[in-house]
A = this chain, B = another copy of it.
Amino acid sequence: MSKGTVVLAYSGGLDTSCILVWLKEQGYDVITYLANIGQDEDFEAARKKAESLGAKKVFIEDLRTEFVEHFIWPAVQANAVYEDRYLLGTAVARPCIARRQVEIARREGAQFVSHGATGKGNDQIRFELTCYALYPEVKVSLFIYCMDVIYRHCGVMSLQLERSRAPADLYLMTKNPEDSPNVQDVLEIEFKKGVPVKVTNMNDGISKNTALDIFSYLNEIGGKHGVGRIDIVENRFIGMKSRGIYETPGGTVLLKAHLDIETFTMDKEVRRIKQGLGIKFSELVYNGFWYSPECDFVRHCIAKSQENVEGKVQLSVFKGQVYILGRESPKSLYNEELVSMDVQGDYDPCDASGFIRINAVRLREHHRLQGLSSTKQ
């Protein structure tokens, strides 16, 4: 007599294998679920292992395109950076993965979901908040109990997009900049509505134009040149500081390119407001609130701001760096108009003096008042 069905986020590794066995021992039917979001994994080996350990069903889902289009692209639009440095790799992956997991749980009539994320980390929160938000009746609590026992025996789950530095061979996606090529790659990235729609390598003419291909290619080129490695201390949602060592080659290239085309095509004051929303977005995503009313709202506002973020950015990638070389856009004839303005006489230098003197009204009064105070004292 089964106590119910659990959909377990299964990696094929020791830790989630332990959970699988333990859950079965406790009397649960276990469905394993493994998401392919582009990691380097032997999915068939994981399937066989899950089956051999008694999984009732095994789901292996290719979420790569969905991940890039619906999770990474909004982060690109937002210029999402947590605490000025972290580009939110797994923070963005987690809601994508958990969403499909609860879809499977609903479809299979499972009341429980489980996962291998640790008790102190952000990933537990991101996973569980997504589950509660999308499947309010689901139970995830049982896992924790088990995890507390298992955790000490199974070791730590390894993250996909981010890795802890300790060993020298830590980085999987990026070359050491010292060992990277001595010749730069020059890329042209084309944006529409704030997301890349095409990338072309000006060196060899290679071109990509689907979301998944573009992102994979930028990971490849960025990685080849050692772009996007960081070693930081970050503040977790629960209030601890922790060290993180990350590599996000494609994300770093896109951040620089998007920042450039955005500033080129977006009104200055819209940009200021949108900058604040982007910071808010980053905090929400980092803390696990992708599926929340406020993150929906912020994503909507940011997407609105991107309507005219369109054009091409040329950049070079070299020895760990991304250099913007230039940009062009049908939506930004601004510059040419403005340069020619004082030729046409539309811009009157006297206006600037008036502008400055009006801005100084307040400053002059402030100074007079201060003089007054100091005289009195």
Contact surface of A with B, Cβ cutoff 8 Å: 79, 83-85, 119-120, 124-125, 128-129, 132-134, 136, 141, 144, 147-148, 177-178, 182, 184, 229-235, 238-243, 259-260, 263-264, 267-277, 279-280, 283, 288-289, 291-294, 297-298, 300-301, 304-305, 318-321, 323-327, 331-335, 337-338, 341-342, 347-369, 372-373
Chain A contact residues: over half helix, strand or loop, or mixed?
helix
14 contacts between A and B (CB under 8 A): A125-B356, A125-B359, A129-B359, A132-B357, A178-B184, A231-B323, A231-B324, A233-B260, A243-B335, A267-B292, A273-B297, A319-B321, A321-B321, A350-B354
* Apart from A129-B356, A144-B353, 15 more pairs, CB < 8 Å: A84-B275, A85-B263, A129-B363, A231-B326, A239-B363, A239-B365, A240-B341, A241-B335, A269-B362, A273-B298, A275-B279, A331-B369, A351-B357, A355-B355, A355-B359
A306 CB → nearest B CB, Å: 11
- Which residues of chain B are near A267, meaning CB under 8 Å? 292-294, 362, 366
- Which residues of chain B are near A366, meaning CB under 8 Å? 133, 267, 292-293
Are B293 and A360 touching (Cβ within 8 A)? no
CA distance A125 to B175 in the complex (A): 46
- Which residues of chain B are near A318, meaning CB under 8 Å? 177-178, 319-320
